[in-house]
């Protein structure tokens, strides 16, 4: 998620977004501090990365675990 290459950042955030649709994955993501990484991505220069970071945070906050 913090790679210098834009394409890699976009692919990583899109994969994470898909991965978080399972609540078990949300619990693991929270334990590993993904929320902090997503918060940092809200300031990314790329609109797609920022948009997907918001989507991931939305998915996480929509579950009782998040």
The answer to the question of residue 1 being in a domain is no
The answer to the question of residue 66 being in a domain is no
Domain count, the chain: 1
Range of the structural domain that residue 32 is part of: 6-61
Answer yes or no: is pLDDT of 65 > 70: no
**pTM recorded for the entire structure:** 0.88
Q: What is the 3-state secondary structure (H, E, C) of the chain?
A: CCCCCHHHHHHHHHHHHHHCCCHHHHHHHHHCCHHHHHHHHCCCCCHHHHHHHHHHHHHHHCCCCC
The answer to the question of residue 18 being in a domain is yes
Query: Mean pLDDT in the chain?
Result: 94
Q: What is the pLDDT of residues 24-53, one digit of tens each?
A: 899 999 999 999 999 999 999 999 999 999
The answer to the question of residue 53 being in a domain is yes
Q: In this structure, are residues 59 and 17 in contact, taking their beta carbons and an 8 Å threshold?
A: yes
């Amino acid at each position: 998620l913090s790679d210098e290459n834009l394409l890699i950042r976009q692919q990583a955030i899109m994969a994470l977004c898909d991965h978080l649709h399972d609540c078990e994955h949300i619990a693991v993501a929270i334990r590993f501090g993904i929320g902090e990484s997503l918060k940092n991505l809200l300031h990314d220069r790329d609109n797609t990365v920022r948009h997907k970071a918001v989507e991931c945070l939305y998915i996480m906050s929509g579950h009782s675990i998040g």
